[in-house]
Amino acid sequence: MFPEANKGFSYEDCKATADWLMAQTDVRPTVGIVCGSGLGGLADMLKDQVAFNYKDIPNFPQSTVHGHAGRLVFGTLRGRPCVCMQGRFHLYEGYPIQKITLPIRIFKLLGVETVMLTNAAGGLNQDFKVGDIMIIKDHLNMPGFSPSPGTFCVISLGTALVFILTKPSTCPSTSCPRRFGVRFPCMSDAYDRELQQLAMDVGQELGYGDFLKEGVYCVLGGPSFETIAECRMLHKLGADAVGMSTVHEVIIARHCGMKVFALSLITNQAVTDYDSEEKANHEEVLQTGKQRAEQLERLVSTMVTKIEHNNNYA
């Protein structure tokens, strides 16, 4: 675990970071973008950039994964003020979940209304091909089958973690999530349906019909890729793609009332056959990202131009 990794995510810490950022830039983003593995080129599309290395931002974790540059970039995308995480954090990097989702709460405090997330994922749906873009319509939160996503309330008493049941106003925890939203957030509407439709429409307009799909994303803890038996099980459970991120960010974004759009680039085919010679690897993931980056960037940036302030769609 990194020094400082276990603190710096209270409401006051998030507010201090947001205030620090707002003092350094005049950009007031309404759209926040998170770039998945090898998909950081999206950030380079922003004009009039003001960029910060994560290491220079108070309370921010550091990126440790190849393909995640570790920069927070402010700017405009075809005139719309945006902020873009060029690199995200994952559970397997050793950070607590509150830390990996901290930037999403900072997005909220910066004024972001819509969050757009991208990731690299393995395809489980047999109709998917490497290079397909999957609009995420729902998720399976495997690590979340035990309480996890940073929306629960804990106070640290020595080494013990104690769940408390107090009202927000009386909660002694400085990391109380109820400063951001309700205790039991609804997830049946996690992925905004109008934004999914917008993505389909924009994709059709751009001629992406052949490789634009929709489906269910399943998050696992990583960093190992799945066994054959695991891939078979996940497919049977209803997952179309499997990855190691995004879902925790989605939960935190919905918890504090932001709209969410997310997509997966299918960077590799999950292996479901014992005779297969295929072996999942990060190099292939990054390579597929490079090949499809331009189309993915065009899809997201065109969508951004059609999202009006207050989340209406032009």
Ligand X SMILES: O=P(O)(O)O[C@@H]1C[C@H](O)[C@@H](CO)O1
Give the binding range for ligand GUN (CB under 6 A) out of 49-57, 114-122, 132-140, 294-302: 114-122
Q: Which of 69, 85, 142, 244 is catalytic?
A: 244
The first and second tokens of residue 57, run together, are 């931002």
Q: Known binder of ligand: residue 6?
A: no
Residue 199-228 contact track with ligand GUN, rule CB under 6 A, x = bound: ---------------------x-x--xx--
**Strand, helix or coil at 19?**
helix
| Residue 122, contacted partner among ligand GUN, ligand X, none, CB below 5-8 A by kind | ligand GUN
119 counts as catalytic: no
Query: Which residues of the chain form contacts with ligand X (CB under 6 A)?
Result: 36-37, 65, 88, 90, 119-120, 222, 243-245, 282, 285
Tell me the residue number closest to ligand GUN, measured at CB: 122
Q: Known binder of ligand: residue 12?
A: no
Taking the complex as a whole, the smallest distance from the CB of residue 198 to ligand GUN amounts, in Å, to: 25
Choice between 294 and 308, CB closer to ligand X: 294
Choice between 81 and 261, CB closer to ligand X: 261
H helical segments located in 153-307: 193-205, 228-236, 247-255, 282-306
Dist CA 306 CA 300 (whole Å): 10
H helical segments located in 139-209: 193-205
Dist CA 247 CA 264 (whole Å): 12
Q: Known binder of ligand: residue 226?
A: yes
142 counts as catalytic: no
Choice between 122 and 150, CB closer to ligand GUN: 122
Choice between 185 and 222, CB closer to ligand GUN: 222
**Cβ(268)–Cβ(122) below 8 Å:** yes
Q: Is 180 in the site for ligand GUN (CB under 6 A)?
A: no
Number of residues binding to ligand GUN, judged by CB under 6 A: 15
Burial class from Cβ neighbours inside 10 Å (0-12, 13-18, 19+) for residue 265 reads buried
Give the bridge partners for 219, in sequence order. Answer: 141, 243
Q: Hey, which residues between 237 and 256 contact ligand GUN (CB under 6 A)?
A: 242-244
308 counts as catalytic: no
**Strand, helix or coil at 246?**
coil
User: Which position has the token pair 């269910």?
Assistant: 216
Dist CA 304 CA 198 (whole Å): 10
Residue 128 dihedral angles phi and psi, to the nearest 5° = -85, 145
Sequence-ordered list of residues with C-beta below 8 angstroms from that of 192, at least 6 positions apart, any chain: 114, 259, 260, 261
Q: Which of 63, 93, 173, 297 is catalytic?
A: 93
User: Angle of helix 193-205 relative to helix 282-306, nearest 10 degrees?
Assistant: 100
Closest CA to 102 of 37, 11, 221: 11
Please identify which residue in 30, 86, 175, 268 interacts with ligand GUN, judged by CB under 6 A: 268
Please identify which residue in 120, 239, 247, 299 interacts with ligand GUN, judged by CB under 6 A: 120
Please identify which residue in 216, 239, 270, 299 interacts with ligand GUN, judged by CB under 6 A: 270
Active site residues: 37, 68, 90, 92-93, 120, 244-245, 268, 282
